[in-house]
Amino acid sequence: MSRILQLLADNRRTFTPVKSRIRAEGDEATVYLYDTIVGDRLTAEWWGGICPQDLVPELVALKVSTIHLRINSPGGDMFAGQAIAQALREHPAQIVGHVDGLAASAATHVACACDETVIAAGAMYMIHKSWSFAMGDSDDMLATAALLQKADGIQVKGYMLKTGKPEQQITDWIGAETWFTADEAVEHGFVDAIAEAAEKGATPNALTSWNLSAFSRAPKPVQTPAQPLDATAIARLVRAELDIATKSEEHRDRQARLAGARIA
């Protein structure tokens, strides 16, 4: 399976209309990019996700001076991410990006388009080489590879512009599928600052909100070890099991008696 399809399949959700993702009050608006990024409405309705076809017109319609873009997304379609990013660049409002949980893959293009970006202390930021899939002969494979190289070049230039880092450094990072902690994302210039502590209550966990198995180097969520049961807890479980077994036996006896009565 294509890794982009795996990402969408692993994180399939009920389609959410874009209007419900936008909150406008006074001269400010908040837009929630808490989903995968997909290329069109049909894909969004099937897999869940948010597409530029729906989001861009809503952004253009916002007549406010400040837009807060809240991001928790594993990414998705690169060109859809670029379309959303361009709409943000062209908007006259001040765009403030908030990486609340995860900005990965195509979601980083959106984050880079913000005038200012902050990241929650527990959030992460990930960049990687472009993905695709193809069928056909060797010419088709070579053409797909050439297209992917161009897509990687677009990414590298965008990250260079945002961070000021040299081309080879960005190329190495995307080649290694690099996951940055919040501090590292600030250090390397992908975001501007760590978010204020007041925002903590609204931040989803960066690693447990999404199934990230489509990625090669996704950090694993920390699992809380199971606590051993004490003698009292074990006794309670045994009594519960015995109670269930007794009631099940009584139920079977009643059913047998009723069946015998019906036959007679």
Every domain of the chain and the residues it spans: 3-202, 227-264
**pLDDT at residue 226 in the model:** 52
Provide the pLDDT for residue 231: 67
Q: What DSSP state is assigned to residue 205?
A: P
Residues in CB range of 117: below 8 A, 6 or more apart: 96, 97, 98, 99, 111, 190, 191, 192
The total of other beta-carbon atoms located within 10 Å of residue 178's CB is: 16
State the Cα–Cα distance between residues 49 and 75, nearest whole angstrom: 10
Q: Show the tokens assigned to 180.
A: 């940055």
Q: Which residues of the chain have pLDDT under 50?
A: 199-201, 203, 206-208, 224, 251, 255, 258-264
pLDDT at 251: 47
**Alpha-carbon torsion (57, 158, 64, 182), positive or negative:** positive
Residue with tokens 């036959």: 263
79 and 73 in contact (C-beta within 8 Å)? no
8 A C-beta contact, residue 162 and residue 112: yes
- CATH code assigned to 3-202: 3.90.226.10
**Per-residue confidence (pLDDT) for residue 130, from 0 to 100:** 94
- What does the block give as tokens for 114? 């913000």
Quick one: pLDDT at residue 261?
41
What is the C-alpha separation between 190 and 195, in angstroms, rounded?
Answer: 14
